[in-house]
Amino acid sequence: MKRRAVANPLALAVLCGLLLEPMHPYEMGRRLKETGKDRNIKYNRGSLYMVVEQLGKAGFIAEQETVRDTARPERTVYALTDSGRAELYDWMRELVARPEHEYPRFGVALSLLGVLAPDEAAALLGERLTALDREAADIRADTAAAKEQGVLWVFLIEEDYRLALLEAEHRFVTALIDSLKAPEYARAWRAVFEEGET
Amino acid sequence: MKRRAVANPLALAVLCGLLLEPMHPYEMGRRLKETGKDRNIKYNRGSLYMVVEQLGKAGFIAEQETVRDTARPERTVYALTDSGRAELYDWMRELVARPEHEYPRFGVALSLLGVLAPDEAAALLGERLTALDREAADIRADTAAAKEQGVLWVFLIEEDYRLALLEAEHRFVTALIDSLKAPEYARAWRAVFEEGET
DNA sequence: GGGGTCATGTAATAGGTTACATGATTCT
DNA sequence: AGAATCATGTAACCTATTACATGACCCC
């Protein structure tokens, strides 16, 4: 199966934006930040111009006109092509229906947790718990505020998802701390990692 | 706060590997795959040689000797330096104690879910559920097998973590499907996305 | 003894991030 | 008026991934 011509998620956001109406790159970026989608789609201007160029080459979007507003730099307005629209839907379908293997940072930490002494690991995980709490509180506050403003729930599910993951991680870490504190583990750990050292 | 000289998680795995004993890059890679750590730390040979070079430049590891085994290509054996050991612990501590903002693929999908018609979205999410089940089953089978072989639980927690996330996502998706099926949503969606089109 | 694949690296390319540049607008 | 910030893009630099290369061993 051949890869997508443009793989960066930011490109998907661009296609999605252009579904509504043609616009110039900077405007896409502005909306991304404005609607908070940049919390779930990594955004930076450099990459944006890059993917716009790539999308152009792939024929998914096309320059529509070049406006010179006097004053501002010349802005090129892009529009979605038919094949771009097709790509958008195809990509979305894949993203929704098929989980992809990912590499969360915490998974890395856990893979190598063995190198830390049990009590230190437990303490650090304690710190993580409070950080997780803070994050969750932030998300709850943000979405509550947005709901008050009348934003539809569909436009907030990403944050609900984040919350669900956060809560799951919280439970997991809590349990893990307990396991680490079991004295048999401390003994086993010392046996493995401090063989000749003490 | 200045970034780490080498940021790729693969580098952390290298430092960790060299903590046990000096070795040459290919060997590090072999062990990574062998111990299954490559499920949580993205591995490919090109990147490996890259990070080894970077780690060398940063002074975290040093060439120890160059063995010519006749036959095989010349292999360079690396060893951890003191500053490398320090970096390893510092990095691990940060990784464990501080959650980082991440961009899971499914979050992207959810951010843009609105573009899909409600019933199609629900159907696709149904597909995802079965995929999630399959993944979870695989992980359970793998860890059960490993435990039988006598692997310590600490070396399997990454997979437990994955499972926890997978289960949380499963619950989330299940609930989401229900919400999408509510007829008010279908009506609202059509109002927004098909204004003049029908 | 020719066709895989193991072991080991290097080099070419593509992708993404940071830094730089510049005119307009707004704040104090 | 000078400082900060917005609006907009380009270019330089790093990082990561793919492709290429090569000699051994292993299998029928």
The per-residue pLDDT for B196 is 54
Residue A168: is its pLDDT beyond 50?
yes
The per-residue pLDDT for A65 is 74
Residue B74: is its pLDDT beyond 80?
no
Task: Answer yes or no: do A39 and A73 share one domain.
Answer: yes
Task: Answer yes or no: do A114 and A93 share one domain.
Answer: no
Kind of pairing, strands A75-80 and B61-67?
Answer: unpaired
Task: Answer yes or no: do B176 and B124 share one domain.
Answer: yes
Residue A197: is its pLDDT beyond 60?
no
B24 conformational bin, left if phi > 0, alpha if psi -120 to 50, beta if neither: beta
| Model confidence pLDDT, tens digit, residues B9-19 | 999 999 999 99
- For residue B44, what are the CA distances in angstroms to A109, B51, B83, B156? 19, 11, 25, 22
Amino acid at B33: K
Higher pLDDT, A89 or A193: A89
Task: Answer yes or no: do B87 and B67 share one domain.
Answer: yes
Task: Report chain B's mean pLDDT, rounded to a whole number.
Answer: 92
Residue B23: is its pLDDT beyond 90?
yes
Task: Answer yes or no: do A148 and A170 share one domain.
Answer: yes
| Model confidence pLDDT, tens digit, residues A22-76 | 999 999 999 999 999 999 999 999 999 999 999 999 999 998 877 666 555 678 8
Pair A60, A14: CB distance under 8 Å: no
Task: Answer yes or no: do A82 and A114 share one domain.
Answer: no
The per-residue pLDDT for A126 is 98
Residues with CB under 7 A from strand C: A 7-8, 42, 44-47, 50-51, 54, 71-73; B 24-27, 30, 45-46, 49, 69, 72-76
Please state the domain count of chain A.
2
Strand intervals (E) in chain A? 61-67, 75-80
Q: Centre a 10 Å sphere on the Cβ of residue A71 and count the other Cβ atoms it contains.
A: 5
The per-residue pLDDT for A68 is 60
- Kindly state whether residue A1 falls inside one of the protein's structural domains: no
Question: What's the predicted TM-score (pTM) here?
Answer: 0.92
A154-163, A187-196, B121-130: least confident range: A187-196
Segment A104-108 shows an average pLDDT of 98
Are B96 and A188 in contact (CB < 8 Å)?
Answer: no
The per-residue pLDDT for A26 is 92
Task: Answer yes or no: do A82 and A121 share one domain.
Answer: no
Distance separating alpha carbons of residues A103 and A174, to the nearest angstrom: 21
Instruction: Specify which of A14-18, B2-6, B32-36 reaches the highest per-range mean pLDDT.
Output: A14-18
Stretch 142-171 of chain B: residues touching chain A, C-beta under 8 Å: 152-155, 157-158, 160-162, 164-165, 167-169, 171
The per-residue pLDDT for A198 is 47
Task: Answer yes or no: do B84 and B24 share one domain.
Answer: yes
The per-residue pLDDT for A71 is 56
Last residue of a domain, one of A47, A63, A97: A97
- Kindly state whether residue A175 falls inside one of the protein's structural domains: yes
Last residue of a domain, one of B54, B79, B97: B97
The per-residue pLDDT for B198 is 47
Task: Report chain A's mean pLDDT, rounded to a whole number.
Answer: 92
Residue ranges making up the domain that contains B117: 105-193
Task: Answer yes or no: do B139 and B155 share one domain.
Answer: yes
Segment A85-106 shows an average pLDDT of 97
Last residue of a domain, one of A76, A97, A118: A97
Task: Answer yes or no: do B84 and B116 share one domain.
Answer: no
